[in-house]
Amino acid sequence: MTVISSVKNLEALSLSVVAEFDAGVERVWQIWEDPRQLERWWGPPTWPATFEKHDFVPGGEVTYYMTGPNGEKARGWWRFVAIEAPHRLEFDDGFSDDNGDPVADMGAVRGVVTLEPIGDRTRMTVHSTFEAEEQMEEIVAMGMEEGMKQALGQVDAILAEHANA
Amino acid sequence: MDRLFQAFADATRRDIVRRVTTGEYSVSGLAALYTMSFAAVQKHVAVLERASLVTKEKRGREQIVRANHDGLQKARRLLDEYEVIWRQRSERIADLLAETGPPTTP
């Protein structure tokens, strides 16, 4: 199992996920630094990501889009807050409109990534903090594998139906 | 494995959740609906109970299963779903690292 632990804070709307990889810290850093590697894993196979701009410096901006199963595009932006190669990365992650401009009222997710060596392996911790529940809903809708999303959505619809009955 | 993720990963468990949100069922009543043993259904209910999706209450000889709406609190559910996203990303990262191996300099 790649992910070894996770911690959720309901009040702070935050999630920490800890994963361990069979590769050194320098190698794992590249999956964040290199947009061609980043787009291999950021989006699920059903919503692959394409990074158009990836200015990997503090204050630098990223623009990307994810392409859905019916060809629809969902655009997003990042802004790097801090970069301390190869151990720590802090960035804001939000949605953009069709023109690529940030959707201000959606807010951003603050992500803090830390890489620690464990022998010749790497422990990666990703701490994400949301601003609002609505924002989480949008992100979750696009970031998840289709099958699981349908499974959860199905149960959700049933619960909503029942609540309104 | 995340409990909610695990709970929803099975078709029978999703069906049990669907049924108990619209009415109460006894474990034996549920068992009669599926082509599996009472013990197997009991196990599914236990998984749902651990994920706080249902509650179980003894009534005479029967065990009554009901939906636990508090357990389906929105923020928690969304964080659980976001966790699934990161678990899937982590698996893809592991695959990518395994595939490319150590970086080579030309």
What is the value of ipTM here, to two decimals?
0.82
Asked if B14 and A139 come within 8 Å (Cβ–Cβ), the reply is no
Note whether A4 contacts B: Cβ–Cβ < 8 A.
no
CA distance to A106, B76, B93, per residue, from A9 (Å): 20, 9, 25
Q: How far is A50 from chain B, CA to nearest CA, in Å?
A: 15
CATH level 2 (architecture), domain B3-100: Orthogonal Bundle (1.10)
Q: Do B17 and A154 form a contact (C-beta atoms < 8 A)?
A: no
Asked if B97 and A22 come within 8 Å (Cβ–Cβ), the reply is yes
| Ranges of residues in chain A whose predicted pLDDT is under 70 | 1, 104-106, 134-135, 137-165
Residue B70 has a pLDDT of 66
> Domain residues of chain B, as ranges?
3-100
Can you give the CATH number for the domain in which A59 is found? 3.30.530.20
* Rounded Cα–Cα distance for residues B62 and B67 (Å): 16
Provide the mean pLDDT of chain A.
Answer: 83
* Domains in chain A, number: 1
Asked if B87 and A3 come within 8 Å (Cβ–Cβ), the reply is yes
Give the DSSP letter of residue B60. T
Q: Which of A2, A71, A7, A11 is nearest to A31 (CA)?
A: A2
> Splitting chain B (106 residues) into consecutive groups of 10 residues, what average pLDDT does each group show?
63 83 87 93 92 87 85 69 88 90 52
Nearest by CB: A128 against B2, B82, B84: B82
* Rounded Cα–Cα distance for residues B23 and B25 (Å): 7
- Residue A143 domain boundaries: 3-164
Tell me which chain A residues have a C-beta less than 8 angstroms from the C-beta of B103.
Answer: 26-27, 30
Count other Cβ atoms within 10 Å, centred on residue A156. 15
Q: How far is B42 from chain A, CA to nearest CA, in Å?
A: 20
